[in-house]
């Protein structure tokens, strides 16, 4: 559920405020900023889907219910979800942007049991972002001063001119203890704000001083473009600090989630389905300037699971859409170690992972400086699959001229082949590994199968039996179609259909996905208690435990009802009667079959109990037939 996003800066947004954002947001206005919408009849709008290529419009918007759904790619949701997908924002970022657009003040809670906390925490984030924006201007202005000459020379020596420095907001932290601090205090930022944001720190004497001093500065931006921290590079030999110094963890800066350059690269990453992961700020600059616009880098921490989550969202990294993740590492021992660590993370991606290593062991910045932009592009173009690199690295550690060396290399390399996600590629890699080792294919194949044995056993475990005895109807059967219509009424017209819909419980739905949606309606509080709109639909979607059911909710929320004009109570009554008619007649058939198999003499009590149940069901069936007699 995408609504599980949790605020990283100021706790969780209060549920009532999220609901208010959904209610006050015009989904048509939000989507019209990206998609040209035209009338589709019935009050709905239609346009070309922004999330997949198509020639005819299948992207539907329902302004009345504030939801959207694409019948082509299956994506759907409300305005919050649209911003998440279209602008590559997190849930919290989307809610905050729509709240600002609608003029809504958000409140936060630290956890589900905490009391609501009013706007000041939202204001804190805005204040910290504003302080960082002011700091960027300050550092940029300092870059032109005489004291910043070493910083300008550093940039020039790495091939970056003034325009490049301005594009990436490069600046200089001056040789002064509290110049930035005084500047920001004069602009109205408080002592606590500067300390909380990591821009200043208390000195030993207790006075407030600048955190960064005598360093080349890079502003670090989040995916929306807001500056949330800084990276500072050492310039002077008498500076006894680390080579690179970053902003500490703050309410707005979480280094495990941040990728430098993501604000400039995000659209190209989504467009090309490709991302290039480099190691430093200058490498990102060099790649972008060399027309490799998909480059990003981590900020003072190893590439990890949270970074992968950010990139998967940008890449649309799914079973249907598999992108490319290209790592560039130095050819030295540290770079090789990082590459092998990346291979371990490879399993978190659906897409294909590659590595690009310069023959001269140069990083992209050095390569651009030595051989030009084309060499950087060629470096990325000559990428090789990460598994090939990992296998070669493992094999090279052993003496393949000896039996012991070949066998040990096989033992170490076999688990890597067993980890390959695309199982169809494994036989080819078995043959390749056997050839590289100079061994017959059979022992290598046995080693790979042994490494894969435990997961394979789990995959072969029998699936749990269906609890529903009757076969499920096909999606276009009359029973499925009427179940679908009933669910549409509950989602689109809960005020009208609620009481009658809620009276027919989940067992009446024979298709398992329909039953899952019906159960989610109950879990969301029932249709009778709902007022409709995007909030209600999202509540049902969030209550779905089945992924297929969750997708179906979005589809049913915009699919037109099978009636000309507006639905009325009679239409609801007919629909619910027809839904029950199918399940009741199926139970009648089951009872008749069971009665025929029972001996009425030796099993008299069971026979008459079943016969009485049959009479009751047949009476109920006659009532349903009369209720549905009006026809759909």
Residue 130 corresponds to which tokens in the numbers above? 């504003």
How much of the chain exceeds pLDDT 70, in percent?
A: 84
Tens of pLDDT, residue by residue over 297-311, are 998 787 877 788 777
The confidence score (pLDDT) of residue 65 equals 83
Nearest to 303 by CA among 332, 329, 274: 329
Which segment of 3-12, 17-26, 54-63, 493-502 scores lowest on mean pLDDT?
A: 3-12
Q: What is the pLDDT of residue 7?
A: 38
Rounded Cα gap, residues 187 and 204, in angstroms: 25
User: Is residue 54 within 8 Å of 72, Cβ to Cβ?
Assistant: yes
Q: What is the pLDDT of residue 508?
A: 85
Highest mean pLDDT among 156-165, 344-353, 405-414, 452-461: 156-165
pLDDT tens, residue by residue, 266-292: 888 877 889 999 989 999 999 999 999
pLDDT, one tens digit per residue, over 526-569 is: 998 888 888 888 889 888 877 678 878 888 888 888 888 888 88
Mean local confidence (pLDDT), 150-161? 97
Residues 102-112 as b or e (16 or more Cβ within 10 Å = b): eebebbbbeee
- For residue 94, how far is the Cα from the chain centroid? 13
Q: Which residue has the higher pLDDT, 583 or 494?
A: 494
Percent of the chain with pLDDT over 90: 34
Tell me the C-alpha distance between 396 and 412, whole Å. 11
Contacts by 368-377, CB closer than 8 A, 24 or more apart: 368/159, 368/286, 368/289, 368/290, 369/158, 369/159, 369/286, 372/290, 373/289, 373/290, 373/291, 374/290, 376/286, 376/287, 376/290, 376/292, 377/290, 377/291, 377/292
Q: How many residues does the chain have?
A: 632
Burial 544-567 (b: 16+ CB within 10 A, else e): beeeebbbbbbbbbbbebeeeeeb
Residue 10 pLDDT greater than 50, yes or no: no
Q: What is the CA radius of gyration of the chain?
A: 31
pLDDT at residue 122 above 60? no
Task: Give the separation between CA 120 and CA 370, rounded to whole angstroms.
Answer: 51
Query: Which pair of tokens denotes residue 554?
Result: 């979005």
Average pLDDT over residues 609-615: 73
pLDDT given for residue 553 in this prediction: 87
Q: How far is CA 258 from CA 246, 284, 485, 629, in A?
A: 12, 14, 45, 62
Q: Please measure the distance between the N-terminal and C-terminal CA atoms of the chain and give it in whole angstroms.
A: 35
pLDDT tens for 209-251 read 999 999 999 999 988 788 999 999 999 999 999 999 999 999 8
Assess contact for 162 and 48: CB atoms under 8 A.
no
372 has pLDDT over 80: yes
Mean pLDDT of 190-207: 94
Among 91, 89, 82, residue whose Cα is nearest residue 63 = 82
């Amino acid at each position: 559920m995408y609504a599980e996003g949790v605020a990283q800066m100021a706790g969780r947004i209060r549920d009532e405020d999220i609901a208010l954002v959904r209610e006050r947001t015009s989904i048509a206005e939000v989507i019209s900023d990206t998609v040209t919408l035209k009338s589709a009849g019935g009050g709905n709008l239609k346009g070309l889907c922004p999330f997949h290529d198509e020639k005819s419009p299948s992207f539907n918007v329902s302004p009345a219910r504030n939801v959207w759904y694409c019948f082509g790619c299956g994506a759907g949701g409300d305005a919050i979800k649209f911003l998440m997908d279209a602008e590559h924002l997190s849930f919290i970022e989307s809610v905050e942007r729509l709240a600002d657009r609608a003029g809504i003040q958000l409140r936060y809670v630290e956890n589900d049991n905490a009391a609501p906390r009013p706007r000041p925490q939202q204001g804190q984030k805005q204040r910290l972002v504003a302080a960082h924006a002011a700091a960027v201007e300050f550092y940029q202005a300092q870059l032109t001063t005489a004291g910043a000459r070493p910083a300008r020379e550093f940039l020039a020596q790495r091939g970056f001119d003034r325009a490049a420095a301005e594009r990436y907001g490069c600046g200089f932290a001056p040789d002064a203890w509290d110049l930035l601090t005084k500047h920001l205090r004069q602009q109205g930022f408080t002592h606590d704000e500067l300390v909380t944001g990591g821009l200043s720190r208390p000195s030993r004497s207790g006075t407030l001083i600048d955190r960064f001093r005598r360093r080349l500065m890079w502003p670090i931006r989040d995916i929306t473009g807001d500056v949330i921290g800084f990276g500072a590079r050492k310039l002077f030999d008498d500076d006894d600090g680390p080579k690179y110094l970053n902003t500490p963890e703050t309410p707005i800066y979480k280094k495990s989630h941040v990728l430098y350059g993501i604000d400039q690269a995000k659209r190209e990453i989504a467009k090309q389905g490709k991302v290039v992961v480099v190691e430093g700020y200058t490498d990102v600059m060099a790649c972008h300037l060399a027309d490799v616009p998909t480059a990003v880098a981590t900020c003072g921490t190893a590439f990890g699971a949270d970074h992968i989550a950010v990139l998967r969202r940008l890449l649309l990294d799914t079973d249907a859409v598999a992108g490319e993740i290209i790592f560039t590492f130095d050819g030295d021992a540290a770079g090789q170690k990082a590459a092998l660590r990346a291979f371990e993370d490879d399993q978190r991606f659906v897409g294909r992972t590659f590595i690009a290593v310069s023959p001269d062991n140069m990083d992209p910045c050095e390569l651009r400086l030595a051989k030009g932009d084309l060499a950087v592009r060629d470096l990325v173009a000559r990428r090789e699959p990460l598994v090939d690199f990992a296998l070669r690295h493992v094999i090279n550690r052993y003496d393949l001229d000896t039996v012991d060396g070949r066998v040990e290399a096989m033992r170490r390399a076999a688990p890597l082949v067993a980890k390959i996600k695309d199982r169809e590629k494994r036989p080819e890699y078995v043959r390749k590994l056997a050839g590289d080792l100079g061994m017959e294919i059979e022992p290598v194949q046995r080693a790979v199968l042994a490494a894969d044995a435990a997961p394979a056993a789990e995959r072969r475990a029998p699936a749990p039996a269906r609890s529903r005895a009757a076969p499920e109807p096909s999606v276009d059967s009359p029973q499925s179609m009427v179940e679908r219509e009933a669910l549409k009424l509950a989602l689109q017209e809960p005020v009208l259909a609620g009481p009658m819909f809620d009276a027919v419980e989940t067992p009446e739905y024979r298709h398992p996905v329909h039953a899952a949606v019906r159960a989610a309606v109950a879990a969301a509080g029932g249709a009778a208690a709902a007022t409709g709109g995007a909030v209600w639909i999202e509540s049902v979607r969030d209550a779905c435990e089945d992924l297929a059911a969750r997708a179906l909710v979005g589809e049913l929320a915009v699919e037109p009802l099978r009636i000309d004009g507006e639905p009325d109570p009679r239409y609801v009554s007919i629909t619910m009667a027809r839904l029950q008619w199918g399940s009741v007649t199926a139970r009648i058939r089951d009872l008749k079959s069971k009665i025929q198999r029972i001996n009425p003499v030796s099993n008299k009590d069971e026979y008459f109990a079943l016969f009485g149940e049959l009479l009751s069901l047949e009476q109920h069936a006659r009532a349903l037939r009369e209720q549905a007699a009006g026809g759909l």
